[in-house]
Amino acid sequence: MHDDLLLLIISSPSGAGKTTLTKRLLEERDLMFSVSHTTRPPRTGEVDGQDYHFVDRETFDREVEAGHFAEWAEVHGNFYGTSLSELDRAREAGMLGIVFDVDYQGARQIKAHLPHAIGVFILPPSLADLEKRLENRGLDTPEVIARRFNKARLEIEHYLFFDYLIVNDVVEEAAARLRGIVHAESSRRERLAPTAENLLRTGHT
Ligand code: 5GP
């Protein structure tokens, strides 16, 4: 049903640079960011309805029960979910595709429901580098940083869920690779089959 939309899952351990890479991609291509629901409190600078729909646990549970989520998961002690209606929103806006920023559990669930979704996993060049980035971004308390760092190895262990891996060492290079994946995926035979068929119908014999 959603075959015409490019479904792009972008995942990584916290601090691997996923947000920066995703933002760049969204500036360059006709892709919509899927705004998840979360029970996590907003960080400084985050905007409700833009970064996330920030909701309380009760509202989140109601959405789960109503079957409104394509997937949901508990990550770092908070709940996160992807609304099915985001796919319709992207289609109505005439987008090439939609980008899901989810953890590996979300990636697995989205793939289970929507098998043609493409998974991209962003890797840090090293675990030491990841730890440094988590500390330097100054967004979280030391306890939260430690929890996120400890979870990084677990996330990386799940790299097999993804179709593409990008090592984010030099950000320009990683951004170019991500762009390349979107270029290639948007030229898939399945997507362009109607164009080819049209040519055959109208061509000379
Ligand atoms: P953060 O709190 O740093 O924004 O996100 C924490 C983790 O939750 C990240 O790995 C992010 O990809 C993941 N996440 C964000 N939204 C969703 C979602 O809708 N579903 C799932 N499964 N994970 C999500």
Residues 78-116 have pLDDT tens digits of 999 999 999 999 999 999 999 999 989 999 999 998 899
Q: How far is CA 12 from the centre of its chain?
A: 9
Q: Which of 36, 68, 71, 134 to mutate to test the pocket of ligand 1 (most atoms within 8 A of CB)?
A: 36
Q: Give the distance (Å) from ligand 1 centre to CA of residue 199.
A: 43
The lowest-confidence range among 13-17, 34-38, 137-141, 172-176 is 137-141
Q: What confidence score (pLDDT) does residue 164 get? A: 98
Task: Label residue 202 by pLDDT band (50, 70, 90).
Answer: confident
Residue nearest to ligand 1 atom 3, measured at CA: 14
Residue 30 CA to residue 8 CA, distance in Å, equals 12
Answer for the pair 10, 120: CB distance below 8 angstroms, yes or no.
yes
Answer for the pair 46, 52: CB distance below 8 angstroms, yes or no.
yes
Q: For the structural domain made of 6-34+96-202, what CATH number should be given?
A: 3.40.50.300
Kindly list the protein residues whose Cβ atom lies closer than 6 A to any atom of ligand 1.
11, 14, 36, 40, 71, 73, 75-76, 80-82, 101-103, 105-106
- Classified as helix, coil or strand, 200 is helix
Residue 105 CA to residue 82 CA, distance in Å, equals 12
Tell me the domain boundaries of the chain: 6-34+96-202
Q: What confidence score (pLDDT) does residue 3 get? A: 59
Strand order in the sheet with 69-75: 52-54, 36-38, 78-83, 69-75
Can you give the C-alpha Rg of the chain in angstroms? 18
Mean pLDDT of the chain: 92
Task: Label residue 26 by pLDDT band (50, 70, 90).
Answer: very high
Strand 6-11 with 78-83, pairing = unpaired
Q: What confidence score (pLDDT) does residue 1 get? A: 39
